[in-house]
Chains A and B, each alone.
Chain A
Amino acid sequence: MSDAHSNSKFLVGIYDDDDVVLQAVKDVRKAGVKIHEVYSPFPIHGLDVALGHPRTKLGIAAFLFGLTGTLTAILLTFYTEGYDWPMIVGGKDSYSPIIYVPIFFELTVLFSALGMVGTFLLSNGLGPTVKPLMYDLRTTDNKFAMTIDMSKNDIGEGDIEGILKRSGAAEVNVKQF
C-alpha cells in the first residue's frame, strides 16, 4: 500500500456523518493539523479538494491510451488490407479509412478503458494480493475515519485529540502500524 508507514503512530478520529467529516477536515486543517487521509464507505464530493489533494491526471491517461488504440486500429487495418493483402470489396478502395471507423472507434474505447482502469489500479496500489491498511473496519460500512500521522505533526497528541473531538469526532483511537 502506498500509505503504509512502518512504526508510525496514528490518531484516528471516527465520525458518524459525511457532512460532519467534510467540515471537520476544513476545521482540523485550519487548526494547523496535517491530515494523513480520510476513509469513507462512499465518495464524499469535495473531500479531495478540502484535503488539498491535487486533481487526478487519469483523464490524460485515458486520452493517451485512447490515442494508442486509434493508432493501433489504423496500423492494423492499413497493414492487413492496405499493404499485406489488398482486397477490393464492393468497389471500395483496398484501403478506405471511412469504412474502418467502427474498428477505430472500438479499439479507441477498448484501449482507453482498459488503460485508464489499469493506471487507476496501479496508482492506488490495488491488486488481488494487496492487504489493505484498515484504520477502522467500520469505514467500509457506516463510519468515516480521519487519520493523523503523529510523526508528521508537531502538535501534541492530547491537543490533536481535542481538535478532532471539537470537530465532531464521535471517538478518537490510537493505531500503531
Chain B
Amino acid sequence: MSHVTSAVRTPLVTGGKTYADVTEDISRQVEGKPTREWTIAFTIAVVVLIYGAACVFWTWWEGLGVWGLNKTVGWAWDITNFVWWVGIGHAGTLISAILLLFRQKWRTAVNRAAEAMTIFAVICAASFILMHMGRPWLAYWALPLPNTLGSLWVNFKSPLVWDVFAISTYFTVSLVFWYMGLLPDLATIRDRARSKVSRYIYGAFSLGWNGSAKTWARYEYISLILAGLSTPLVLSVHTIVSMDFATSVIPGWHTTIFPPYFVAGAIFSGFAMVQNLVLIIRVVFKLEDYITVEHIESMNKVITLTGSIVGVAYLTEFFIAWYSGVEFESYAFINRATGPYWWAYAAMMTCNVISPQLFWSRAIRRSVVWTFTLSVIVNIGMWFERFVIIVTSLHRDYLPSSWAMFHPTLFDISDYIFSFGLFFTLFLLFSKFLPVVNMAEVKTVIKSSSEKLPASVSGVAKGERVTNPTFNKNID
C-alpha cells in the first residue's frame, strides 16, 4: 500500500476526512435538490444554447454566406473555434492518463471534472466541423463508406480524413475512459439512493458494479492500459489537427514545428479551462478540502511550463521564417506582428507568453483570484493564437491581388456563443447528476494525504497526527 507518504508532502485532502466523509461530501450535490446558483447558471446556459442553436440553424438554412468568409479567407472563426475547443479537450485525458502513468496522485481530485470537460469540449469542437461543412446532413461523406457515385472513397492521404479518425477515436476512448472511471461512484450513488427512480437509473448505469477484489484488480489493470493508449492519442490528435495546416503550402502554416507547438498549446489552454471550472466547482459545491491550493498550484505549474513552450514556439517560428530565406514566409510573420491584425497578435503574445510567467511567483500561483483571472486570459490568448494562425496566414498570401480582410458577422459570433451554451449546459448537467470528484480514487489517497489515520491502523492512535511516518513495504 502506498498509504503513508513522506512528511514533507503536503496533504492532498485536508480537513481530516474519513472514507464516509468523502462519500457524503461528494454525493451531496447529486442527491440533494438543485441549488439556487445551479438553477440560475443552468437557466442562463440553456437560454444561450437555444439562442445559439437558432443561429446555427439559420446558418445552415441560409448557407455559410451568413458568415464573414470570402474567397481569400475561407476558414476563419469556424476552424479557430474548432481548434480552440479541441485544445481545451486535451487537459482531461492528460490529467487522467499521463498523470496516472506518472503516478501523480494530485490528479485524483480534478480528473473527473477534467475528463467531463474533455468530452463536452470535443462535442463543441465537432459542432464546428459540422457547421463549416455547410451541409451537415452530408457529414457521412467524410467516412470511408461505399457510395452511389461508384468506387469513390475518402482520400486517406489527407490530414482532414486523419482528423475524422483522430477526433472520433479520441472522443470514443475519452468517453469510455470517463465512463469506466464513473462506474464505482455510480454504484455508490445507487446504493445510497432513496427513490426507486434514481436506484433504477444509477443501477442501470453502474452496470451491476459490486466492488469485488477481482473486479477492482481488472479495473485497475484496464485503467492503466487505457491510460497507456490515451497518452499517445492526446499527442496524435493535436498533431493531426496541426497537420491540417502544416501539410498545406500557405505561408505561416507550412511549418514543421506545428505538431509539438499545437500539442503544448492544447495542454496550455486545456489546463486553463480546467482551472476555471474546478475553481467554480470547489466553491459552489464546497469542495475546498478536496480541490486544495496544492492542486491549483500543480496545475499552474503545468500552465507555466506549457505557456513557456508555446512562447518558445512563437519565437522559433519567427526565427525559421527569417532563416529559411523564403520571402513569403518572412512576410507572413512580419504581417502578423505589424499588419492589420497586429492587435490580435499583440493579444496572443500578451495573454500567452507574458501573463503565465506571473505564475513564477509562489503567491500568485497559490492565489485563487489570480489563477482564475490568468486562466481566463490564457484561454482568450489561445483563441487569438488560432485566429492569428488561420486568418492572418490566409488574408495575405502569394497574390496581393487576392488580399482581403475578414470581419466577423453576427452569425460568426452567435455560432461561437452557441458552443458556450452547449458546453455549459452539458457541464452543469454533469455537475448535478454525477459526482464531480472521483470518490473511489480520492479514497485511495486519503490516508497519505489526510492529517489523521483511523484508530484501527496499528501503532497509530485515533486522531494522532502522523509526524514521523514509516514507509510500507507493499508500496505499489
The smallest beta-carbon distance between B93 and chain A, in angstroms, is 12
Q: Are A99 and B457 in contact (CB under 8 A)?
A: no
Could you mark each residue 208-220 of chain B with 1 if its beta carbon is under 8 Å from any beta carbon of chain A, else 0? 1111111111111
Please tell me which stretch of A5-13, A15-23, A158-166 contacts chain B, meaning at least 4 of its Cβ atoms lie within 8 angstroms of it: A15-23
How far is it, in angstroms, between the C-alpha of A113 and the C-alpha of B180 when the chains are bound?
11
Q: Are B187 and A45 in contact (CB under 8 A)?
A: no
Query: Are B207 and A128 in contact, with the CB atoms below 8 A?
Result: yes
Asked if A117 lies at the interface with its beta carbon under 8 angstroms from chain B, I say: yes
Contact, CB under 8 Å: B213 / A48: yes
Q: Is the CB–CB distance between A139 and B211 below 8 Å?
A: yes
Instruction: Name the distance in Å between B304's Cβ and chain A's nearest Cβ.
Output: 30
* Partner pick for B474 among A38, A45, A48, CB 8 A cutoff: A45
Q: State in angstroms the CA–CA spacing of A120 and B216 once bound together.
A: 11
Interface of B, secondary structure class, is: helix
Say yes or no: A56-B233 contact (C-beta < 8 A), given A41-B19, A76-B144.
no
Given A46-B1, A51-B213, A127-B208, A120–B165 Cβ distance below 8 Å?
no
Assembly CA distance A24 to B233 (angstroms): 41
Whether a CB of chain A sits under 8 angstroms from the CB of B63 is no
Report if A100-B156 is in contact (Cβ < 8 Å); known contacts: A109-B233, A113-B173: yes
- Evaluate contact between B191 and A137: CB separation under 8 angstroms: yes
Contact present for B454 and A17 (CB under 8 Å)? yes
In contact, B169 and A106 (Cβ under 8 angstroms): yes
Across the interface, which residues of A come within 8 angstroms of B166, CB to CB?
102, 106
What is the count of residue pairs linking A and B with beta-carbon distances less than 8 angstroms? 214
Interface residue from B3, B155, B213 paired with A87 (Cβ < 8 Å): B155
Interface string of A72-93 (1 = CB under 8 A from B): 0000110011001101011010
Docked pose: A123 CA to B144 CA in angstroms? 33
Q: Which of B121-129, B134-142, B224-232, B314-322 faces chain A?
A: B224-232
User: What is the minimal beta-carbon distance from A104 to any residue of chain B, in angstroms?
Assistant: 10
| Contact among A38, A39, A102, A130 for B240, CB-based, below 8 A | A102
**Chain A residue at minimal CB-CB distance from B173:** A113
Q: Contact at B218–A58, with CB atoms within 8 Å?
A: yes
User: Considering only CB atoms, which chain B residue lies closest to A43 in the complex?
Assistant: B216
* A16, A37, A92, A109: residue with the most chain B Cβ atoms closer than 10 Å: A109
Closest to A49 in B: B217
Beyond A80-B156, A109-B233, 12 additional contacts (C-beta under 8 Å) are A38-B212, A41-B184, A45-B2, A47-B216, A87-B155, A103-B156, A113-B172, A116-B226, A126-B209, A139-B211, A140-B209, A141-B19
